[in-house]
Amino acid sequence: MSLQQEIIERLGVKPEIDAELEIRKRVDFLKQSVQQAGTTGLLIAISGGIDSAVAAGLCKQATDELSSETGREFITLGVFQPYGDQSDIADSYAVAEAFNLKKRAETNIAEAVDEIAIEVEHSFKSLGIPRHLSRGGKGNIKARTRMVMQYALAFELNLLVVGTDHASEAITGFYTKWGDGAVDLTPLSTLNKRQVRQLASHIGVPQSVLDKAPTAGLWDGQTDEDELGITYGDNSDYLEGKEINAESREKLEKQYLKTEHKRSPIPGI
């Protein structure tokens, strides 16, 4: 078995999908998870990107169906988490409007992140290596701080936290382990980026979100494809079992191998 075949099998990506069937399967998964956990619904952080938009649409459909079927109220809480002023925050709210999310909360992470960064820099100074926190290091703090806030809300409101992780991120390890990767449910996990877009077109994601370049929002101007040097087109082709150019294949497989620790459970002895 080639490494490509091994990765595809491990991540569970299909070479092609029926978007309507995939939506139905993932909505049912969310409904079943809520009922098994005995919670009152789902929490989804809406960044303004396509992944969280699709996840929000799936969550809202799931909790609406549960409310209708049981006669009890189940909610989807949409959470907006800008760092200071977020230039595309309107896209986050457009997603909430598109799916008629009644329950919303905005938790600005700027003060918390900046305070943590200051404390880390104090630690550097005490170690005799005065320096500023790196751009990537601060980006990781942003990801983790967002999750702290999501879980604080979810705990008090008895909700499950839904993540936006999918196979095109898993193959590159492009997330902060146990930061933005620590969630309760990942309804997009066996889809590549192209397939997430297919669901987006069927579920009603706003056009302004569909047109955006994918970003993790780690710093101004950051895009996933620039950061990794791999296009999502090549990434998705690879996960569908297609041949891609040798340079992209090598980059993708190197990235997969060096980020194995991010996909693995915490080891013990």
Q: Which residues are catalytic?
A: 51, 169
- Say if CB 78 and CB 56 are below 8 A apart: yes
Spatial strand order of the sheet with 75-80 comes to 103-106, 75-80, 41-45, 160-162
Alpha-helical (H) ranges within the chain are 3-11, 19-37, 50-70, 89-98, 110-126, 135-157, 167-170, 193-203, 207-210, 224-228, 232-239, 246-258, 260-263
Identity of the residue numbered 156: E
